Amino acid sequence: MLLRRLIATCVLLATLLAVWAQEPCPRVIPALQQWEGKKGKLEMPAEGVIVVNPQDEAALLSTARILAGDLRDLMGWTYAVKTGKPERNCVYLALSGPDGELGEEGYVLSIGRHADIQAPTAKGVFWGTRSLLQVLHGQQGCLPKGTARDWPLYPSRGFMLDVGRKFFSMDYLRTYVKILSFYKMNEFQIHLNDNGFPQYYGNDWNRTYAAFRLESDRFPGLTAKDGSYTKEEFTALQRMGMEYGVNVIPEIDVPAHSLAFTHYKPELAAKEEYGRDHLDLYKEETYEFLDSLFDEYLSGDNPVFVGPDVHIGTDEYNKKEAEQYRYFTDRYLKRIASYGKNPRMWGGLKWLPGRTPVQAEGVTVNAWSYDWVDPEASLRDGYQLINTCDTYLYIVPGANYYREFLDHQWIYETWMPWLINSKQQLPEDTPGLLGGMFAVWNDLCGNGISEQDAHLRSFPAVQVLAEKLWRGQHTEVSYASFEALCRALPEAPGVNLLARVPEGENRLTPEGETCVLNGTDTLGTALDEVGYPYAVSFKICPDKDTNISGVLFNGPHSTVYVNWENTGRIAFSRDGYVFVFNSYRLPEEEWTDIRIEGDWKGTSLFVNGRLQERLEGRTAKVWYERYKRMDQMSYQETLIFPLRRIGAALNGFKGKIKDVVCVQGEEEHR
């Protein structure tokens, strides 16, 4: 008996030791659904190979090449791509047979003698490479041995960006495809047209800002002059999205939010009482114009819109025209479907009820407002829904009626897509509820918001929504632990829009050494730019004949000037805006200590150790004639500081500079 007990105890101890020896689940965002750890780690080489199963070369070669580039950008590694059988310490990619649990996007990541990623679909394999990259980054090139089985809880995991009221460059959109992809967010809706509010333009619709961002051959002059996308580059963006697992969804918003179209063709405008941003739904010219516009991007052998989905807007039309609005909506849902596309729209049928039927089959609705859409009725009618609840998931920079930042902790701990709005909750596994999407709206045109300011607000939302829409509730990991992981992970391989820099003091010129610039030469530094919050300090002595508006610092997104417009003032520009420190003139032929500090709210100038001026809090107060009220818009006077070059080859700073130092504090908002 004693011997049997001793043997049982030894077996139990051996079992416990084996369990303890297993590698813990690697931490990624979104978290893995399942992990079975084994003993030991696989140390990946800095030079290696990605091997693709020869039978799957056509489907997986693009994924392998993207992974090789990402390993270079993220780890500094060099990996070749080839076909064949798996080798020791390689990354092996292959398609597997159908798997009901993994579905269309799931994958299996097995780590033993090599890293093996297999999935029923190419998209699943691609998502597996995203997890692989995050684990490599978090564990400094080592992989814990074991097997992960991973799949998404919801099929629609998205982000909508309003580029109509603020232009975002194509480089930014391409970068965002990479960011979304890195966190397995698979939908990127581009809101291509919109307009500002007339009260900020003298209550004059003719002066009110409006833009349509896409090149048009059929309607010359329709495309915005201050920023637009060619057909070729917008198609290329969609194709890039396909390679990265991201469905780029174009949205042309009609029949409201359509001032860009009525500016171009004033005869298309509805009654003045509705606002000039409403199209006239009774005029045949309206339908002729829109038929041709949609056809321009959807017809022919090489259409501009190449993805599966097209969004037609249809939000916030005047309630008095409910029946005609419903006719219009039904007509364009069917028209989009006639091109073989899946139509999408913003929910509006609750606000505009009527007898006129509106197609539901094959239509996806953004459920954004309790007042405008009835989720239960929509599901009964056959629509599919994406939770885009304005209360929880809208970001409007600088506005006081929606969020500046999402409530990330509440979303992580509480929110799920079935919390459809603040007054309504659907059953947990409601059929037809596809997932969620958060939105960044740029309602306040001209308020100074930058691309990077928008990113500061949207990036943490990407991380937390990715977690909830893929993994679901993850109560065993605290929000504090999740937030720490968010901060530790990069935005994507090769992406640093937040402009993170190494911790501590970053000295960009040799201590005490004077650098002399003649107005046509430059000094490169080790950093491109520094993000919020930061302090950049330097000592400066301008020449007597220093250039007017001479470039002192230049970077990928912004520029700092001295002697702005021959006034001696310091200024900076970015995103088409110029901001000036008006209270101080930099003396010539005299050394001055300058420190510029920036955070997400504004920018401060310190002179010889004392605060000279803070750019923050400037507002515009205007009278809104239609509603007989005062409205207010705050300006965003922020700067992610440029550091790539000191001086410029053309109209650079003339004088002496030394002791250029930057320090970045801890990120303030998550």
pLDDT, tens digit (0-9, with 9 covering 90-100), for 608-629? 999 999 999 898 888 888 888 8
Q: How far apart are CA 161 and CA 437, in angstroms?
A: 10
Residue 400: predicted pLDDT: 83
CB 589 within 8 A of CB 541: yes
Measure Cα distances from 79 to 56, 64, 126, 139, 666 in Å. Answer: 19, 10, 17, 18, 34
pLDDT at 206 over 90: yes
Residue 11: predicted pLDDT: 41
Q: How far apart are CA 477 and CA 475, in angstroms?
A: 5
The last residue of one of the domains, among 488, 514, 534, is 488
- The answer to whether residues 345 and 224 belong to one domain is yes
CB 549 within 8 A of CB 651: yes
Shortest CA distance to 466 belongs to which of 36, 31, 118? 31
- Classify residue 113: in a domain, yes or no: yes
- The answer to whether residues 426 and 533 belong to one domain is no
Spell out a b/e string for 171-201, using b for 16 or more CB atoms within 10 Å of the CB, else e.
ebbebbbbbbbbbbbbbbbbbbbbbbbbbbb
**Lowest-pLDDT choice from 4-8, 96-100, 606-610:** 4-8
578 is written with which tokens? 């110029």
pLDDT at 100 over 90: yes
- The answer to whether residues 102 and 186 belong to one domain is no
Residue 1: predicted pLDDT: 47
Position 68, amino acid: A
- The answer to whether residues 49 and 104 belong to one domain is yes
Residue 309: predicted pLDDT: 98
Domain containing 81: what range? 19-150
Q: How far apart are CA 157 and CA 435, in angstroms?
A: 6
362 vs 670, residue with greater confidence = 362
DSSP string, 493-523: TTB-TT----SS-EE-S-TT--EEEESS-EE
- Classify residue 166: in a domain, yes or no: yes
Residue 154: predicted pLDDT: 98
138 is written with which tokens? 């978090």
- Classify residue 1: in a domain, yes or no: no
CATH label of the domain that carries residue 642? 2.60.120.200
6 is written with which tokens? 């001793």
- The answer to whether residues 424 and 281 belong to one domain is yes
Residue with tokens 């939302």: 461
Per-chain mean pLDDT for the chain = 95
pLDDT at 538 over 90: yes
- Classify residue 496: in a domain, yes or no: no
pLDDT class of 16 with cuts at 50, 70, 90? very low
Q: How far apart are CA 378 and CA 216, in angstroms?
A: 34
Q: How far apart are CA 658 and CA 655, in angstroms?
A: 10
- The answer to whether residues 447 and 563 belong to one domain is no
- The answer to whether residues 54 and 146 belong to one domain is yes
- Classify residue 4: in a domain, yes or no: no
Residue 13: predicted pLDDT: 40
CB 375 within 8 A of CB 639: no
pLDDT at 449 over 80: yes
pLDDT at 378 over 70: yes
- The answer to whether residues 542 and 593 belong to one domain is yes
Residue 15: predicted pLDDT: 40
- The answer to whether residues 330 and 365 belong to one domain is yes
Position 325, amino acid: Y
- Classify residue 12: in a domain, yes or no: no
pLDDT in tens, 636-662: 999 999 999 999 999 999 999 999 999
CATH label of the domain that carries residue 342? 3.20.20.80
Q: How far apart are CA 16 and CA 510, in angstroms?
A: 56
**Cβ neighbours of 137 (radius 10 Å):** 16
Residue 632: predicted pLDDT: 87
pLDDT in tens, 209-237: 999 999 999 999 999 999 999 999 999 99
- Classify residue 281: in a domain, yes or no: yes
Residue 665: predicted pLDDT: 93
Q: How far apart are CA 642 and CA 482, in angstroms?
A: 31
CATH label of the domain that carries residue 119? 3.30.379.10
The last residue of one of the domains, among 455, 488, 521, is 488
pLDDT at 633 over 60: yes
pTM for the model stands at: 0.95
pLDDT at 543 over 90: yes
Residue 647: predicted pLDDT: 97
- The answer to whether residues 242 and 327 belong to one domain is yes
Residue 661: predicted pLDDT: 97
Please give the tally of structural domains in the chain. Answer: 3
Angle 479-436-152 from CA coordinates, rounded to 5°: 75
- The answer to whether residues 446 and 544 belong to one domain is no
- The answer to whether residues 219 and 70 belong to one domain is no
What is the average pLDDT across 118-142?
A: 97
- Classify residue 495: in a domain, yes or no: no
